Structure 1
Amino acid sequence: MALDDFLTCFEFSFMSFAIEQNKNPIFIWSLAV
């Protein structure tokens, strides 16, 4: 259960980070590769 919560939190944090970096399309593209 705790692991699921951790993964959910990690995914949320990662998405938030990606949104913050949205100013840099090349950075987002590099993540997608």
Structure 2
Amino acid sequence: MLKWFVIMVENLKEKIQELLNRSRFTADRL
């Protein structure tokens, strides 16, 4: 159970980082 939670958190962090990078990239282009 705990292992699943850790995996979910890691996946969320990766997605958030990806979104941050994408938004920063578009902001730099503007």
RCO higher in structure (CA 8 A, sep ≥6): 1
Unaligned segments of structure 1, at least 5 residues: 24-33
**Structure 2 partner of 1:15:** 21
- TM-score using structure 2 length: 0.71
% identical equivalent positions = 0
- TM-score using structure 1 length: 0.65
Q: Which has the larger radius of gyration?
A: 2
Unaligned segments of structure 2, at least 5 residues: 1-6
After the TM superposition, list the runs of 4 or more consecutive aligned residues in structure 1 that deviate by more than 6 angstroms.
none
